[in-house]
C-alpha cells in the first residue's frame, strides 16, 4: 500500500496553483486534506502524474461574513465547524453535521473544499451545502465562476469542476431569524459513511412552515433535494395531529424520492426506511429549532 | 525512488534533514528515515489511527500525509511525550489503568487524546468514546483506555504537552 | 496498584505491567522496527485477483526491468527448491507458499518481487503479467459439501443418542451458520529471512505466535532439518488473537526467496493483504438437534457440522473443528451425543486460529438450541440451564466425548449472574412493555453458559482421522511448556519464556510467579519473552494459543523457580548448618524457618555458587540456571472410542445480555451485560479483567458487526477497514465482570485459561437476547441493524408496511 510515482508540487500562491492546473489539467490532482485522496493513492486506485498540494496557498482558509452569507475558504479544516463559536452560531446546520464527518483526527486535516470537490455521495458537507442552497467559487486561469450546490454534484465522486479549476471558497447562507435546522444520519459505527442521512432547513412564520428545504444523502449517486416532500409542509403547522400527518406524508415522499442502491451493508428497502425515519426526525428538529429561535426575539 | 528531495523537519524539538521521494508517506519517513519507530503503521488508509502524530500541534494521520508535505513543519511523536525519566501524565494514566496490552495502537491513541483534551479539557465518557472511535484497538475492549483518558481529563496536567 | 497481594504473595497481586513503560514511550521493538541483518531487500507479492484460475503463464520481464528490482519469482521457482506445506490430513489439496499452476482463492500469492524498497517492489509487482484462465469458484460451504469437496467426513456416537431421541418429550432443531470473521490485530504480519548458503541454514525473524508444531511444518517445506531453521520472534508483537500462527507460510515464502536470490529479504504485510489473505475463522454451518424431557432435562444432542477451511487445509486445521470436541456438551450433564463433522474446501482464504477457536461456533448452536428448547417447553431459559448444568459434586467430570472438566460450581455462577442483572425485574419490565402500547423498542434478555477450555491437548487434531488411521502414525498428546530461569552472581534472576506473548503481559506475571517462589520482589526478576528456537527451551506445543499461559506457561516458570529454590536451600542449609528443608526463602534471604535472625542473603549464596563452586555441598552441580518443563495431566491421545480430553483446564463463564432492539431501524443497543467467570486462581486480577474485556470485544464483533464477505464469484467484499467493520469504542458495550474462584486441581498454580471465554459466549448471549426481543429465530450473525430489520420485514413485522 504505497503510492505510485508522481510529481509533488507545492505552490505558495493561488496564481501558481492555477498555472499548474492549467498546464497539467487531467494529469493533475489537487491535494487538500488528503483524507480521501491519499488512501486512494496508497491503494493505487488514483494515479495522478502531478499532485498539486494547495495546503500552503495563502488566503484559502479565511472566514468572511457578508450579506447574510458566510464564506469559508476551501482549505478551512472540518474541525473549525465544531470549534469556532462564530461558525457554530452562523452555520448551525454545518456545525450539526461536523461531528459525523470521519473522526476527530481526520477532521483536523480534512478540508471543507476537499470534501465538496470530492463529491462523495455519502458526504455530510455536500448534503448540508445543498440543503442550505449554498454555492462554491471555482477559479482557473480562464476566470472565476460561482457554482450552485445544485449544479456542483454530478454523481458519486464527480463534481462540475473542470480539471483546471480550483475550488477556492464556499458560500454558506447563514442562519437567519425564523429559520430552524435539523441533521440526522444512521451509520453502522460512529464515524462511518452513513447508510442514509437527512438535513432540513425550515423557516417558520405565523405558526406555519413558510419555507423548507429537505436534503437527503447517501441514498443516490449525489445528495438530493426532496422538493415534493418539502412542498407538502409549506403552509402547515407541524404541531398536533394534522402536523403529524404532514410530516409523515413528507417523510414518505422523501423515501420515494430517494434512489438508493444495494451494497454489502444494506438493501434498497432498508435505506428507504431510513430516509423516511430520518426525514421525519430532521423536519421535527427544524420545526422545533425554528420555534426556539423565534422565541429569542427575532424580527 | 526518483525525485529525491531534502525534507527539513523539527520533531520533538530536534531538527532533521533527510531525503525522501515525492511519494514517500510521512509515516515511512518518520520510521525509516528518522528512526522514530514509535509511530506505527496499521492500515495505511486512515482508519486504524496507529500512525497519529502532531503536525503543527494538531493530531493527524501520518499515513495520509506525504513526507514532502511536512517539509519545514514542526512535528511531535510519541517519543516526545515523556520528559526524561518522567512519563507524561497521560502515559502514566495508561499504565495505571492497564489501558494497553500489545501497545501497538497506543502511540496513536496517546497523540490523538492529547490534542482532544487540549480542545475539550473536561469531556464526558461518551465524548471520549467518540474521539476514540477513530482508533482501532483489538486487545483492550477500549474501556480501560477511556478510563485512562477520563482520569487525566480536567486535572490540568495535559496542557504542557500541547504547548 | 503495586505491592504484594493480601495473602502476602505476588501471585494474585496487581503490579503495574513491566511491559508498559517501553511501549508507552514508543520504544517497543516490533518486527517492522527491526533491522537484524544489513541489506535486506523488500518483497511485494503479486496476488491472484481470481478466486479460482489456472495460471497459464507468467511474464516477469517488464517487472524484472523495473527500477530497483532484483528478482521476480513465480510459484514454480519456489516449488523447485522447496516443498509443499504439510497438511494434517492426507488428501487435502496440495498447498505451496506461492501458487503453482492454479490459484485457489482471491489474494493467493502467485509471484514474489524482490526490490530495494517496498515502493519500488509494488511498482514492479504491477508489471508482472499473469495469464489467468478463470475457473468456476465455490464459495458456499453447503455447496462445497454437495460438490464433494470434502476433505474429512467423520461420524461419532457417544452413549445411546437414538434411544434418547426416541424417548424425548420434545425435539428442537435449528441451523446456525457462523460466518467468517477475522482477528485483525492492529499490527500485520512481518518476516525477515536470511538464508546462509555456507551453512545451508535459515534464520528468520517473524512475529509468529506458535504453536511450534508449525516450525516443523515450515522446516519441512523449506527442505531443512529443523535444527537449521532458526526462528526468532521480536520482543514485541502487535496483537495476534491466533492469526499470527499463519505467519509460518510466509516464513517459507521469504526463506525460499532469500535462498534463491542470495540476499536477506524483508516482507511486511499491508492491511489489504492482511484482510484478503492472512486467514480467518472457519465458516461453519451447524445443524443441531436436541432432545428434551418435559421437565427440561436435556437428553441428547445431535450435531451435523460443515466446516469451511478455505482453499487449503492449512495446519493446524481442521483444529478449529476438534478443539472443542471434549466439550461438545458444553456446561450440561447430557450423556448422549451424535456428531457428523465434514471439512470442506471452498475458494476462499485458508482459515486458522482466531480467539475462541471453535468455541463461538459451537456455543452459538448449543446455546441457541437450549433457548429454543426452553421456549418449546414453555420454561424459562434460566431454569432449563440450571436443570442441566454439571453439578458441583460431579467434578472432575468426564464428558461423554472424553473431556475431563476439572472443577467448578456452575449453578452458583449462574445465580450470581441472574442476581446481578435483576433477572426477575427484567422479565417483569419486558412483560410490561409487551403489554404497553408503543412496542418500537423491544427488550430482550439472552443467556449463555459456556465452558471455556484451555491448554489444548496436541492430540485432539488426530480425531480428524479414524482410530485405524491414527494407529498408523505416532500417537500425539499433551501440552508441554518449558522455561529457563537463572540467577546471576549478584542474586538477580532472569527468566526466558517460550510462550510468545502478543500483549498479554506474560513478563509481568512470570516475574510475580518467580518472585513468590524465590522470596524476591518482581523487580528482582528480569523476564525475556523473545523466542529463539536455537536458545529457548521449547516443545512443539510452545506458543501463545488455547489460553495456555496461566495454566501451563506460568507453571513452567514456577517449576524452574522451584528447582532453583531447592538448590539454593541446599547451599543455604550447608552455610546455615541446618537441613535444606528447614530453609525458607524470604525477602531476598535464605533463613532458618522460625529463626528470622539466622539467614544468609541470596546474593551471597549466588556469589558462592558462581565464584566459589568448591564451597558447594558435596555432589551439588555448580551453576544456578535451571530449565524446567511441565506438561498438563490427563491429556492422552484419543482412544479407540474417539474420546479425547481435548483440554487440560476448564473455566466457566455465564453471560447475561440485556438488549433493546429498535424495530423501526433494526438497531441493537446493549443496555446491560454481565459476565461471571470462574477461572480458578487469578494470577493478576487486573490482567485477567483486561483479557475478559478484550475477549468480550472480540466476540461482540462477529455478533453485531464483523464478517468477512465474498460474493458468489469469490471476490472479497470486505477488503478494507471501510467495509470490514471492526468494533470500535462506540460499539463495545460496558461490561460488568464478576468472579468466582474454584482452583483447578490439574494445573500447578490452580489457574485456568480465561482469554477466550467471552469470545465464545458473547455471540450466543447476544443472539439469544435479540431473538428474545424479537420473538424470532433470526437473523444470522452479525446482527447489524439492516439485517435485523430485514429479518423483521421477512417475518412480516416491518413497521409501516
What is the predicted pLDDT for the residue at A299? 33
- Alpha-carbon distance of C396 to C376, in angstroms, equals 32
CA A183-A187-A191 angle, 5° bins: 85
Our measurement of the distance from residue C513's CA atom to the centroid of its chain's CA atoms, rounded to an integer in Å, reads: 23
Give the confidence band of C5 by pLDDT, cuts at 50, 70, 90: low
B136–chain C Cβ distance below 8 A for any pair: yes
Contacts 24+ apart (CB under 8 A), C639-643: C639/C402, C639/C467, C640/C467, C641/C158, C641/C402, C642/C156, C642/C401, C642/C402, C642/C463, C642/C467, C643/C158, C643/C326, C643/C401, C643/C402
Q: Which of B60, B79, B98 is the last residue of a domain?
A: B79
Is B122 part of a structural domain of the chain? yes
B58–chain A Cβ distance below 8 A for any pair: yes
A8–chain B Cβ distance below 8 A for any pair: yes
Tell me whether residues A109 and B58 touch, CB distance under 8 A.
yes
Q: At what angle do helices C554-576 and C506-518 cross, to 10 degrees?
A: 30
CA C95-C97-C99 angle, 5° bins: 70
Is pLDDT of C693 > 90?
yes
Instruction: Give the nearest partner residue to C725 out of A1, A188, A273, using CB atoms.
Output: A188
What is the predicted pLDDT for the residue at B3? 60
Alpha-carbon distance C49 to nearest alpha carbon in chain B (angstroms): 20
CB atoms within 10 A of CB C686: 19
The per-residue pLDDT for range C181-209, each reduced to its tens digit, is 999 999 999 999 999 999 999 999 999 99
Tell me the three cell numbers of residue B86. Answer: 518522567
A179-294 classified as CATH 3.40.50.300: no
What is the predicted pLDDT for the residue at C777? 87
Alpha-carbon distance B95 to nearest alpha carbon in chain A (angstroms): 23
Which of A50, A98, A103 is the best substitution to test chain B (most B C-beta atoms within 10 A)? Answer: A103
Is pLDDT of C369 > 90?
yes
Average pLDDT of span A271-276: 98
Asked if residue C147 lies in contact with residue C138, where contact means CB atoms within 8 angstroms, the answer is yes
Beta strands in A160-253 (DSSP E): 166-173, 179-186, 196-205, 208-217, 224-225
Query: Chain-wide mean pLDDT for chain A?
Result: 96
Give the confidence band of C4 by pLDDT, cuts at 50, 70, 90: low
Judge if B110 and B75 occupy the same domain.
no
What is the percentage of chain C residues whose pLDDT exceeds 70?
Answer: 98
- Alpha-carbon distance of C333 to C316, in angstroms, equals 30
Q: Specify the pairing of strand B5-11 against strand A28-31.
A: unpaired
How many angstroms separate the Cα of C366 from the Cα of each of C286, C450, C451, C761, C769? 10, 9, 12, 11, 15
Asked if residue A102 lies in contact with residue A130, where contact means CB atoms within 8 angstroms, the answer is no
Asked if residue A246 lies in contact with residue A238, where contact means CB atoms within 8 angstroms, the answer is yes
Evaluated on CA atoms C237, C238, C241, C242, the torsion sign reads negative
> Which of the residue ranges A29-33, C464-468, C569-573, C794-798 would you say has the lowest mean pLDDT?
C794-798
What is the predicted pLDDT for the residue at C3? 59
The per-residue pLDDT for range C68-90, each reduced to its tens digit, is 999 999 999 999 999 999 998 98
Is pLDDT of C2 > 60?
no
For chain C, domains (ranges, CATH) are 20-28+480-631 (3.30.365.10), 34-136+189-268 (3.90.1170.50), 283-459+636-794 (3.30.365.10)
Judge if B12 and B53 occupy the same domain.
yes
Which of A44, A186, A189 is the best substitution to test chain C (most C C-beta atoms within 10 A)? Answer: A189
DSSP state of C332: B
How many angstroms separate the Cα of C395 from the Cα of each of A289, C337, C403, C409? 65, 20, 12, 9
What is the predicted pLDDT for the residue at A298? 36
What is the predicted pLDDT for the residue at B157? 60
Is pLDDT of C438 > 80?
no
Is pLDDT of C400 > 80?
yes
What is the predicted pLDDT for the residue at C439? 85
What residues of chain C lie within 8 A of the CB of A187, using their CB?
none
Tell me whether residues A44 and C730 touch, CB distance under 8 A.
no
Alpha-carbon distance A13 to nearest alpha carbon in chain C (angstroms): 31
Average pLDDT of span C460-468: 94
Evaluated on CA atoms C788, C790, C792, C798, the torsion sign reads positive
Average pLDDT of span B110-114: 98
What is the predicted pLDDT for the residue at A66? 87
What is the predicted pLDDT for the residue at C473? 87
Domain residue limits at B56:
5-79
Tell me whether residues C119 and A2 touch, CB distance under 8 A.
yes
Which of B52, B68, B139 is the best substitution to test chain C (most C C-beta atoms within 10 A)? Answer: B139
What is the predicted pLDDT for the residue at C778? 77
What is the percentage of chain B residues whose pLDDT exceeds 90?
Answer: 91
Q: Which fold has domain A7-53?
A: 3.30.43
The per-residue pLDDT for range C788-799, each reduced to its tens digit, is 999 999 876 433
A1–chain C Cβ distance below 8 A for any pair: yes
Asked if residue C602 lies in contact with residue C585, where contact means CB atoms within 8 angstroms, the answer is yes
What is the predicted pLDDT for the residue at C91? 83
Tell me whether residues A5 and B22 touch, CB distance under 8 A.
yes
What is the predicted pLDDT for the residue at C797? 46
A25–chain B Cβ distance below 8 A for any pair: no
Q: What is the CA radius of gyration of chain C?
A: 27
Beta bridge partners of B60: B53
Is B134 part of a structural domain of the chain? yes
Average pLDDT of span C238-243: 98
Tell me the three cell numbers of residue A249. Answer: 406524508
Q: Which residues contact A280 (CB under 8 A, 6 or more apart)?
A: A247, A248, A250, A251
Judge if B94 and B141 occupy the same domain.
yes
What is the predicted pLDDT for the residue at B158? 52
Q: Where does residue C3 rank: exposed (0-12), middle (13-18), buried (19+ CB within 10 A)?
A: exposed
Query: Chain-wide mean pLDDT for chain C?
Result: 96
- Alpha-carbon distance of C437 to C743, in angstroms, equals 50
- Which residue from C251, C261, C248, C250 is spatially nearest to C197, judged by alpha carbons? C261
Is B163 part of a structural domain of the chain? no
- Residue C206, by phi and psi: left (phi above 0), alpha (psi -120 to 50) or beta? beta
Asked if residue A153 lies in contact with residue A130, where contact means CB atoms within 8 angstroms, the answer is yes
- The size of the A-C interface in CB pairs under 8 A is 64
Average pLDDT of span C546-573: 97
Tell me whether residues B81 and C25 touch, CB distance under 8 A.
yes
Judge if B9 and B75 occupy the same domain.
yes
What is the predicted pLDDT for the residue at C798? 38
Average pLDDT of span C535-545: 96
Q: Which residues contact B26 (CB under 8 A, 6 or more apart)?
A: B53, B62, B63, B65, B66, B67, B69, B70
- Alpha-carbon distance of A289 to A235, in angstroms, equals 17
A45–chain C Cβ distance below 8 A for any pair: no
DSSP labels, C431-482: HHHHHSS--SEEEEEEEEEEEEEEEE-TTGGGGGS-HHHHHHS------EEE
How many angstroms separate the Cα of C765 from the Cα of each of A83, B44, C423, C463? 41, 35, 14, 29
Tell me the three cell numbers of residue C495. Answer: 527468566
B: neighbours with 3+ CB pairs under 8 Å?
A: A, C
Is pLDDT of C67 > 60?
yes
Please, where are the H alpha helices in C224-336?
248-261, 271-277, 319-322
User: Domain-by-domain residue ranges, chain A?
Assistant: 7-53, 63-173, 179-294
What is the predicted pLDDT for the residue at A291? 80
What residues of chain A lie within 8 A of the CB of C271, using their CB?
1
CATH number at residue B122: 1.10.150.120
The per-residue pLDDT for range C700-730, each reduced to its tens digit, is 999 999 999 999 999 999 999 999 999 999 9
Tell me whether residues B79 and C693 touch, CB distance under 8 A.
no
What is the predicted pLDDT for the residue at B160? 47
The per-residue pLDDT for range C581-632, each reduced to its tens digit, is 999 999 999 999 999 999 999 999 999 999 999 999 999 999 999 999 999 9
Tell me whether residues A189 and B66 touch, CB distance under 8 A.
no
Beta strands in C250-384 (DSSP E): 265-268, 283-292, 298-308, 336-344
Query: Which letter, b or e, does each residue of C241-273 get, where b requires 16 or more Cβ atoms within 10 Å of its Cβ?
Result: bbbbbbbbbbbbbbbbbbbbbebbbbbbbbbbb
Average pLDDT of span B57-65: 98
Number of helices (H), then strands (E), belonging to chain B: the values are 6, 5
Judge if B74 and B15 occupy the same domain.
yes
Asked if residue A286 lies in contact with residue A178, where contact means CB atoms within 8 angstroms, the answer is no
What is the predicted pLDDT for the residue at B162? 39
What is the predicted pLDDT for the residue at C391? 98
Q: Which fold has domain A63-173?
A: 3.30.465
Give the confidence band of B4 by pLDDT, cuts at 50, 70, 90: confident
CB atoms within 10 A of CB A219: 28
Beta strands in C150-282 (DSSP E): 150-158, 170-178, 190-196, 201-206, 229-232, 265-268
What's the domain count of chain B? 2
A179–chain C Cβ distance below 8 A for any pair: no
The per-residue pLDDT for range A178-207, each reduced to its tens digit, is 999 999 999 999 999 999 999 999 999 999
What are the two backbone dihedrals, phi and then psi, of residue A156, each rounded to the nearest 5 degrees? Answer: -50, 120
Tell me the three cell numbers of residue C12. Answer: 494474585
Please name the residue of chain B whose CA is at the shortest distance from the CA of residue A39.
B45
CB atoms within 10 A of CB C594: 8
What is the predicted pLDDT for the residue at C799? 38
- Which residue from C465, C453, C544 is spatially nearest to C497, judged by alpha carbons? C544
Please name the residue of chain B whose CA is at the shortest distance from the CA of residue A43.
B45
> Is A152 strand, coil or helix?
helix
Asked if residue B107 lies in contact with residue B39, where contact means CB atoms within 8 angstroms, the answer is yes
What residues of chain B lie within 8 A of the CB of A55, using their CB?
69
DSSP state of C532: B
Tell me whether residues A188 and C709 touch, CB distance under 8 A.
no
Amino acid at each position: 500500500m504505497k503510492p505510485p510515482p508522481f510529481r509533488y508540487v507545492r505552490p505558495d500562491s493561488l496564481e501558481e496553483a492555477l498555472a499548474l492546473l492549467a498546464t497539467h489539467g487531467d494529469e493533475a490532482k489537487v491535494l487538500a486534506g488528503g483524507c480521501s485522496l491519499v488512501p486512494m493513492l496508497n491503494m493505487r486506485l488514483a494515479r495522478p502524474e502531478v499532485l498539486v498540494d494547495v495546503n500552503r496557498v495563502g488566503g484559502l482558509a479565511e472566514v468572511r461574513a457578508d450579506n447574510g452569507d458566510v464564506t469559508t475558504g476551501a482549505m478551512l479544516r472540518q474541525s473549525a465547524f465544531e470549534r469556532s463559536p462564530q461558525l457554530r452560531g452562523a452555520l448551525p446546520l454545518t456545525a450539526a453535521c461536523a461531528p459525523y464527518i470521519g473522526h476527530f483526527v481526520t477532521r483536523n486535516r480534512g478540508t471543507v473544499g476537499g470534501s465538496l470537490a470530492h463529491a462523495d455521495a455519502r458526504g455530510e458537507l455536500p448534503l448540508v451545502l445543498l440543503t442550505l442552497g449554498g454555492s462554491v467559487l471555482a477559479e482557473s486561469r480562464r476566470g472565476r465562476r460561482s457554482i450552485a450546490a445544485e449544479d456542483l454534484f454530478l454523481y458519486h465522486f464527480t463534481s462540475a469542476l473542470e480539471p483546471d479549476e480550483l475550488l477556492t471558497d464556499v458560500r454558506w447562507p447563514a442562519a437567519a431569524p425564523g429559520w430552524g435546522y435539523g441533521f440526522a444520519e444512521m451509520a453502522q459505527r460512529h464515524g462511518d459513511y452513513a447508510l442514509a442521512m437527512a438535513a432540513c432547513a425550515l423557516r417558520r412564520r405565523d405558526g406555519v412552515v413558510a419555507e423548507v428545504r429537505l436534503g437527503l444523502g447517501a441514498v443516490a449517486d449525489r445528495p438530493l433535494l426532496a422538493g415534493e416532500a418539502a412542498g407538502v409542509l409549506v403552509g402547515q403547522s407541524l404541531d398536533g395531529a394534522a402536523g403529524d400527518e404532514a410530516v409523515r406524508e413528507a417523510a414518505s415522499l422523501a423515501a420515494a424520492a430517494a434512489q438508493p442502491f444495494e451494497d454489502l451493508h444494506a438493501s434498497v428497502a432498508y435505506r428507504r426506511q431510513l430516509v423516511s425515519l430520518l426525514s421525519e426526525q430532521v423536519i421535527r428538529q427544524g420545526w422545533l429549532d425554528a420555534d426556539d429561535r423565534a422565541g429569542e426575539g427575532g424580527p | 525512488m526518483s525525485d529525491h528531495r531534502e525534507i527539513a523537519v523539527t520533531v520533538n524539538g530536534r531538527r532533521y534533514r533527510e531525503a525522501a521521494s515525492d511519494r514517500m508517506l510521512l509515516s515511512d519517513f518518520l520510521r525509516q528515515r528518522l528512526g522514530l519507530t514509535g509511530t506505527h503503521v496499521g492500515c495505511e488508509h486512515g482508519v486504524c489511527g496507529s500512525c497519529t502524530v502532531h503536525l503543527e500541534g494538531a493530531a493527524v494521520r501520518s499515513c495520509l500525509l506525504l513526507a514532502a508535505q511536512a517539509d519545514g513543519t514542526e512535528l511531535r511523536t510519541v517519543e516526545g511525550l515523556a520528559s526524561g525519566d518522567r512519563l507524561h501524565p497521560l502515559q502514566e494514566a495508561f499504565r495505571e489503568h492497564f489501558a494497553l496490552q500489545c501497545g501497538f495502537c497506543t502511540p496513536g491513541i496517546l497523540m490523538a487524546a492529547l490534542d482532544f483534551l487540549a480542545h475539550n479539557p473536561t469531556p464526558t465518557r461518551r465524548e471520549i468514546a467518540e474521539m476514540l472511535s477513530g482508533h482501532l484497538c483489538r486487545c483492550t475492549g477500549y474501556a480501560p483506555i477511556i478510563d485512562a483518558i477520563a482520569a487525566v481529563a480536567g486535572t490540568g496536567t495535559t496542557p504542557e504537552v500541547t504547548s | 496498584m503495586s505491592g504484594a497481594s493480601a495473602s502476602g504473595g505476588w501471585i494474585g497481586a496487581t503490579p503495574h505491567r513491566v511491559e508498559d513503560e517501553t511501549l508507552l514511550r514508543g520504544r517497543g521493538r516490533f518486527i517492522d522496527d527491526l533491522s537484524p541483518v544489513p541489506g535486506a531487500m523488500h518483497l511485494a507479492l503479486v496476488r491472484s485477483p481470481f478466486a479460482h484460475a489456472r495460471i497459464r503463464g507468467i511474464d516477469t520481464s517488464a517487472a524484472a526491468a523495473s527500477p530497483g528490482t532484483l528478482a521476480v519469482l513465480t510459484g514454480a521457482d519456489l516449488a523447485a527448491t522447496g516443498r509443499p506445506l504439510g497438511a494434517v490430513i492426507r488428501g487435502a489439496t496440495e498447498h505451496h507458499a506461492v501458487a503453482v499452476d492454479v490459484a485457489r482463492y482471491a489474494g493467493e500469492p502467485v509471484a514474489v518481487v524482490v526490490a530495494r524498497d517496498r515502493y519500488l517492489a509494488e511498482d514492479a509487482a504491477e508489471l508482472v503479467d499473469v495469464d489467468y484462465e478463470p475457473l468456476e469458484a465455490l464459495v458456499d460451504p453447503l455447496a462445497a459439501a454437495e460438490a464433494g469437496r470434502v476433505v474429512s467426513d467423520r461420524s461419532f456416537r457417544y452413549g445411546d443418542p437414538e434411544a434418547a431421541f426416541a424417548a424425548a418429550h420434545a425435539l428442537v432443531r435449528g441451523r446456525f451458520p457462523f460466518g467468517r470473521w477475522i482477528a485483525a490485530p492492529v499490527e500485520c504480519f512481518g518476516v525477515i529471512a536470511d538464508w546462509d548458503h555456507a551453512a545451508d541454514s535459515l534464520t528468520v525473524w517473524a512475529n509468529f505466535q506458535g504453536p511450534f508444531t508449525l516450525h516443523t511444518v515450515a522446516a519441512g517445506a523449506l527442505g531443512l532439518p529443523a535444527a537449521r531453521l532458526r526462528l526468532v520472534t521480536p520482543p514485541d508483537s502487535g496483537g495476534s488473537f491466533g492469526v499470527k500462527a499463519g505467519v509460518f507460510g510466509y516464513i517459507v515464502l521469504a526463506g525460499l526467496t532469500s535462498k534463491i536470490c542470495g540476499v536477506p529479504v524483508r516482507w511486511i504485510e499491508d492491511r489489504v493483504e492482511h484482510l484478503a489473505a492472512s486467514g480467518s475463522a472457519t465458516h461453519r454451518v451447524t445443524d443441531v438437534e436436541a432432545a428434551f424431557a418435559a421437565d427440561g432435562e436435556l437428553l441428547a444432542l445431535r450435531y451435523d457440522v460443515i466446516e469451511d477451511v478455505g482453499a487449503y487445509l492449512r495446519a493446524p486445521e481442521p483444529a478449529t473443528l476438534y478443539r472443542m470436541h471434549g466439550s461438545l456438551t458444553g456446561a450440561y450433564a447430557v450423556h448422549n451425543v451424535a456428531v457428523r463433522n465434514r471439512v470442506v474446501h471452498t475458494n476462499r482464504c485458508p482459515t486458522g486460529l482466531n480467539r475462541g477457536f471453535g468455541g463461538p461456533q459451537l456455543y452459538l448452536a448449543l446455546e441457541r438450541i437450549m433457548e429454543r428448547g426452553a421456549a418449546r417447553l414453555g420454561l424459562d431459559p434460566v431454569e432449563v440451564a440450571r436443570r442441566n448444568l454439571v453439578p458441583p459434586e460431579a467434578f472432575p467430570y468426564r464428558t461423554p466425548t472424553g473431556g475431563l472438566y476439572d472443577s467448578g460450581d456452575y449453578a452458583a455462577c449462574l445465580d450470581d449472574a441472574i442476581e446481578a442483572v435483576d433477572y426477575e425485574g427484567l422479565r417483569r419490565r419486558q412483560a410490561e412493555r409487551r403489554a404497553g402500547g408503543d412496542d418500537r423498542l423491544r427488550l430482550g434478555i439472552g443467556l449463555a453458559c459456556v465452558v471455556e477450555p484451555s491448554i489444548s491437548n496436541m492430540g485432539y487434531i488426530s480425531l480428524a482421522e479414524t482410530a485405524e488411521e491414527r494407529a498408523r502414525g505416532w500417537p500425539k498428546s499433551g501440552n508441554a511448556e518449558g522455561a529457563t530461569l537463572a540467577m546471576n552472581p549478584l542474586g538477580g534472576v532472569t527468566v526466558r519464556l517460550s510462550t510468545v506473548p502478543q500483549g498479554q503481559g506474560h513478563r509481568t506475571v512470570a516475574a510475580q510467579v518467580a518472585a513468590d517462589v524465590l522470596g524476591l520482589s518482581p523487580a528482582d526478576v528480569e523476564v525475556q519473552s523473545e523466542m529463539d528456537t536455537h536458545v529457548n527451551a521449547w516443545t512443539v506445543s510452545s506458543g501463545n494459543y488455547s489460553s495456555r499461559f496461566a495454566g501451563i506457561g506460568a507453571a513452567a516458570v514456577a517449576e524452574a523457580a522451584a528447582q532453583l529454590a531447592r538448590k539454593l536451600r541446599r547451599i543455604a542449609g550447608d552455610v546455615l548448618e541446618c537441613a535444606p528443608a528447614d530453609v525458607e526463602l524470604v525477602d531476598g534471604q535464605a533463613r532458618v524457618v522460625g529463626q528470622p535472625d539466622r539467614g544468609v542473603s541470596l546474593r551471597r549464596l549466588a556469589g558462592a555458587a558462581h565464584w566459589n563452586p568448591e564451597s558447594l555441598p558435596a555432589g551439588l552441580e555448580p551453576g544456578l540456571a535451571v530449565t524446567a518443563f511441565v506438561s498438563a495431566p490427563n491429556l492422552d491421545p484419543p482412544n479407540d472410542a474417539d474420546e479425547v480430553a481435548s483440554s487440560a483446564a476448564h473455566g466457566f463463564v455465564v453471560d447475561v445480555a440485556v438488549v433493546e432492539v429498535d424495530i423501526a431501524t433494526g438497531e441493537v443497543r446493549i443496555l446491560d451485560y454481565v459476565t461471571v467467570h470462574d477461572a480458578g486462581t487469578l494470577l493478576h486480577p487486573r490482567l485477567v479483567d483486561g483479557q475478559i474485556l478484550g475477549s468480550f470485544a472480540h466476540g461482540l464483533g462477529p455478533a453485531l458487526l464483523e464478517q468477512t464477505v465474498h460474493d458468489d464469484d469469490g471476490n472479497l467484499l470486505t477488503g478494507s477497514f471501510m467495509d470490514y467493520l471492526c468494533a470500535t469504542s462506540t460499539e463495545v458495550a460496558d461490561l460488568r465482570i464478576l468472579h468466582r474462584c474454584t482452583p483447578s486441581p490439574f494445573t500447578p498454580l490452580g489457574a485456568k485459561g480465561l482469554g477466550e471465554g467471552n469470545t465464545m459466549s458473547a455471540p450466543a448471549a447476544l443472539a439469544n437476547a435479540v431473538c428474545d426481543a424479537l420473538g424470532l429465530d433470526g437473523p444470522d450473525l452479525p446482527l447489524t441493524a439492516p439485517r435485523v430489520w430485514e429479518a423483521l420485514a421477512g417475518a412480516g413485522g416491518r413497521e409501516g408496511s
